[in-house]
Structure 1
């Protein structure tokens, strides 16, 4: 009986959407770069790593692998397949804003993703052998409050305050034995969850590209206590409302402001707002949308935030989580609003974590590297 009722509800819901004639008006996308080699510096580096002196040819440390290139290209193809009619068959610079963080792997990932999304039309085909066309993309060389907000002083100060909360001390204390063991195994001091997340990132990169891992990783990686401590770190980065604001809230406000400008007719040609970013960016938005996952965001995973318009020129927001591995996406049920949320209600739902102008200040001389 319950199953039949659910089927009736689903059919009614689909029927309502069809009656309203919901269609995509605009699309925001933020995604993680593709598979990469371990980083050459920062929290991923540890003295006992058997590959500590390996340079990972031909591309190098921290660079995309061929599989990683394919992953983000496939994401672009996925976007093209899902939004083909909406995007049209010709690329124009006014069609998309595409921004990357200032790292090789995200810049290259953005190029590859855009190549999959915007193959040249017959009119734009400039080389009979190469089915590719150049597109416009940008990055911020200095403080990047959108993609790298965790490096800004407001976030760093709030994160340190949060680490001093008694309940946070209790949560971290559950991993004291792991910290001690990792300090012994890795040959460097593992002081907190940030350091643990760095070790997890290195092991994940090595494992993904097929390298044999140290014996001590058995039983704690890829699942187990090392994963749990890493997931705790990502949760702690959005533990308070203030941290949510300074983390995922900043990116979400960009999405909302851009959609508002589209609704108001200020951006008549713009259809895409795209960011090539990192696992912690995806994790911050998963937290904002109350999506609980038992894994660290995979390579090429992403969040899609659609602006929809109905036949009566009313606007809605729909969110999808693209998992990357596997290459599929799932709809997100927005708490208190459902899957197709009226735009004004969506804005109201998240307005308490939108940043102020002061929150968006990120002085260059006060940058603190979260994963230095």
Structure 2
């Protein structure tokens, strides 16, 4: 018997394919996580240090290159006939974060998507051609690297998240493993930092490096759960919409504007695809802003696809797919209260609450509110201090004031019987 979930998936995929066949594909946004890499860092007692990795920490591995090359081949197959067979700089724009692993992932992906043909072959034995990948410095990145910093309102949301009963319950539940891993790795770990140990152990296991005896399957499973929970805390779990407006909503805003611009027929418009090479947190931040967050870390080379279709009467619609398994077709995603084939107007309406109208102002609102509270508190404290000083001075002056003698009696003299 076919499981109900699988049957639903097959039916949904069939509906999506039928809807797509009746409309014309006009634009695609592709966002993917980089491929397999080395760890970001080693923990203090780690037997493997940076010198044990061919290119050091945080670098794309040969396996990661293969994963991205395969993804590029998948995109070639999926969009063959939509994208030109040969690379056309007017049809596609590629952007990456300013990180070695994402830049190299983009280049590996493009090698699979655009193997050179005809005049693009510049070396007979080289099935590769250079294709530009654009980026900005990490200090200026607000589109593809999350969480975005310098946002007091988001910092406050995270502080509030850590104070929730649910968060505290998670802390209690996993305290034993946090303490154990902290002792074994020689570092002070928290619920928000223990994921770094899991990341290191996971990378080492993927590259057939032996783990210490304390790293049992049960410990690794708990660390994986904590890794996923950390993502939920960052982008969802508590006030997801408010967090999205300050994080993934930045990317969603860019995507929505791009879809809107491409929806209007324009014979001069040649752009067909926007490709974004980024990180697991980028994918999850976008999922949170689309309200399709499942809280699980996306695997290497996971790919989010957003397609824009237009029919003969000019109306446009959006379809979304997520590829997190190379053995099956990407599965369809559906916005809340919209069909798989979501009209663009509805897509814009549904996503609008997750997008900030003025990110800089909204990020600083909490800071401004705190400044006002501090000023008011200082004024009140100053007034109270002034009144206290006045009261003290009044008492001192009253005690030192000279007496006129009227009504004064030398009580002590009378008490001892001395006559005046």
In our comparison, the structure showing a higher alpha carbon Rg is 2
Verify: 1:151 aligned to 2:153, yes or no: no
Verify: 1:214 aligned to 2:215, yes or no: no
Does the C-alpha gap of structure 1 residues 165 and 84 become closer, same or farther in structure 2, counting only changes over 3 Å? same
CA distance in 2, matches of 1:262, 1:352: 22
3-state secondary structure, aligned to 1:195? coil
3-state secondary structure, aligned to 2:117? coil
CA distance in 2, matches of 1:87, 1:232: 39
What does residue 187 of structure 1 align with?
Answer: 186
CA distance in 2, matches of 1:11, 1:297: 21
Verify: 1:100 aligned to 2:101, yes or no: no
CA distance in 1, matches of 2:180, 2:19: 54
Aligned residues: 353
Does the C-alpha gap of structure 1 residues 353 and 102 become closer, same or farther in structure 2, counting only changes over 3 Å? same
- Offset of 1:298 from its aligned partner? 0.7
RCO (CA 8 Å, sep 6+): is it higher in 1 or 2?
1
CA distance in 2, matches of 1:8, 1:208: 32
What does residue 19 of structure 2 align with?
Answer: 17
CA distance in 1, matches of 2:100, 2:9: 47
Verify: 1:231 aligned to 2:228, yes or no: yes
What does residue 73 of structure 1 align with?
Answer: 69
**What aligned pairs does 1:24-43 form with structure 2 within 5 A after superposition?**
24-40=25-41
Which residue, 80, 84, 87 being the options, matches 1:88?
A: 84
What does residue 249 of structure 2 align with?
Answer: 249
- Offset of 1:6 from its aligned partner? 7.8
Verify: 1:175 aligned to 2:198, yes or no: no
Does the C-alpha gap of structure 1 residues 158 and 294 become closer, same or farther in structure 2, counting only changes over 3 Å? closer
Does the C-alpha gap of structure 1 residues 233 and 75 become closer, same or farther in structure 2, counting only changes over 3 Å? same
Unaligned 5+ runs, structure 2: 365-420
3-state secondary structure, aligned to 1:87? coil
Greater share of residues in helix: 2
- Contact 1:31–1:278 at 8 Å: present in 2 too? yes
Unaligned 5+ runs, structure 1: 364-372
Does the C-alpha gap of structure 1 residues 132 and 361 become closer, same or farther in structure 2, counting only changes over 3 Å? farther
CA distance in 2, matches of 1:257, 1:284: 18
- Offset of 1:140 from its aligned partner? 0.8
TM-score (norm 1): 0.86
CA distance in 1, matches of 2:349, 2:328: 32
- Offset of 1:7 from its aligned partner? 12
CA distance in 2, matches of 1:353, 1:135: 34
CA distance in 2, matches of 1:279, 1:294: 11
- Offset of 1:246 from its aligned partner? 2.2
